[in-house]
Amino acid sequence: MTVPANQVVDREKAYALSADACRDHALAGWIVMRDQPQPGAFMARFMVRQPTPYVLVAETLAELRAQLPDGLTLSERQPSDPLGLVEIWFTG
């Protein structure tokens, strides 16, 4: 799977997306997946009601977490979550 360059955002844009979502929606978040967009890599897709095209991409989980906006709440992976899902970070 490849991610189009216009969908990959930086930390500054991730902050703006999260802040905008908090004003208009009760719940939004970043869904962290492993082996996306290539094996060994990590991707976080921004979600408001449904997945958006905006993603953060990193080689390691630590690098990806460093790109996420401050103030998010971690939801650990649950046994019923799909394979590849690592964690979800919620706004608000």
pLDDT digits (tens, 9 = 90+) for 51-90: 999 999 999 999 999 999 999 999 989 999 998 999 999 9
Domain count, the chain: 1
Query: What's this model's pTM, rounded to 2 decimal places?
Result: 0.83
Q: How far is CA 5 from CA 15, 55, 64, in A?
A: 18, 10, 17
Question: d(Cα 48, Cα 34) in Å, to the nearest integer?
Answer: 20
- Considering the chain, what percentage of its residues have pLDDT values greater than 90? 59
The whole-angstrom separation of Cα 62 and Cα 60 is: 5
* Residue 32 domain boundaries: 5-90
Query: Residue 66 corresponds to which tokens in the numbers above?
Result: 């460093």
